[in-house]
């Protein structure tokens, strides 16, 4: 079967990011050490909660104010948590080639509303996509089944007509279990090669 839909992960595929930078940014806003910010953000599961849609941005902010027992600027905290991305310039021409080929593009990402909106506001890479499947909207994170099933409902074709790339092997392996052609993202040249092997007429490099 010909490939009709391509799923792309966001973090470390479309854009690069740093959790360490997020912890440092948040620490600066909260007036604490980066390790303390990491404890609340990552170790307590707070970031996981907002990425799964279990809490809102307001509740995320409130958790910081409770933890530090003081007022924290809402917008400053949002910016600190989100200003951690830089564009993967090499992926943009590939997305444009796929659009010329009338390929359907679907985002498949573990992400929060804060991060998604920041990327939409600061980069134009997501404007090329026809649909988004995000963990905060699906209420599930990769590699759990529901987020893949949500993506497949937005594909508009059979799993065997889909391609997916992600930088995390476990997420790729789960996609394959659904019958999706999936490859680990390392660099865009390799993604081009994988697509060409599947009969997609993109440039080799």
Residues 131-144 have pLDDT tens digits of: 999 999 999 999 99
Please give the pLDDT value at position 117.
98
How far apart are the C-alpha atoms of 83 and 164, rounded to whole Å?
26
Residue-level length of the chain: 205
pLDDT of residue 79: 98
Chain centroid to Cα 192, Å, comes to 20
Tokens of 92: 């943009």
Where on the phi/psi map is residue 174: left (φ > 0), alpha (ψ -120 to 50), or beta? alpha
Structural domains in the chain, CATH included, are 5-16+87-197 (3.40.50.1000), 19-82 (1.10.150)
In this structure, what token pair is assigned to residue 180?
């999706």
Nearest-angstrom CA–CA distance, 184 and 74: 36
pLDDT recorded at residue 205: 79
Round to whole Å and give the CA distance between 110 and 26: 20
pLDDT at position 198:
98
Q: ∠ at Cα 179 (177, 182), nearest 5°? A: 80
pTM of the predicted model over 0.75: yes
Residue 115: alpha-carbon gap to chain centroid = 9
| pLDDT value, residue 1 | 80
The 3-state DSSP class for residue 141 equals: coil
- Tens of pLDDT along 38-73? 999 999 999 999 999 999 999 999 999 999 999 999
Q: Which stretches in the chain have pLDDT values below 70?
A: none
């Amino acid at each position: 079967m010909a490939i009709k839909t391509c799923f792309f992960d966001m973090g470390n595929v479309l854009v690069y990011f740093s959790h360490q930078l997020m912890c440092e940014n948040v620490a600066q806003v909260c007036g604490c050490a980066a390790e303390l910010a990491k404890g609340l953000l990552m170790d307590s599961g707070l970031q996981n909660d907002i990425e799964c849609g279990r809490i809102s941005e307001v509740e995320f902010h409130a958790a910081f104010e409770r933890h530090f027992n003081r007022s924290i600027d809402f917008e400053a905290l949002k910016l600190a948590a989100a200003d951690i991305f830089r564009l993967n310039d090499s992926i943009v021409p590939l997305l444009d080639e796929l659009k010329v080929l009338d390929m359907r593009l679907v985002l498949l990402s573990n992400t929060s509303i804060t991060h998604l909106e920041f990327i939409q506001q600061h980069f134009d890479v997501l404007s090329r996509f026809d649909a988004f499947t995000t963990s905060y909207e699906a209420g599930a994170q990769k590699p759990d089944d529901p987020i893949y099933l949500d993506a497949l409902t937005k594909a508009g074709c059979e799993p065997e007509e889909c391609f997916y790339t992600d930088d995390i092997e476990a997420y790729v392996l789960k996609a394959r279990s659904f019958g999706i052609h999936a490859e680990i993202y390392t660099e865009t040249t390799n993604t081009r090669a994988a697509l060409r092997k599947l009969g997609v007429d993109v440039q080799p490099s």
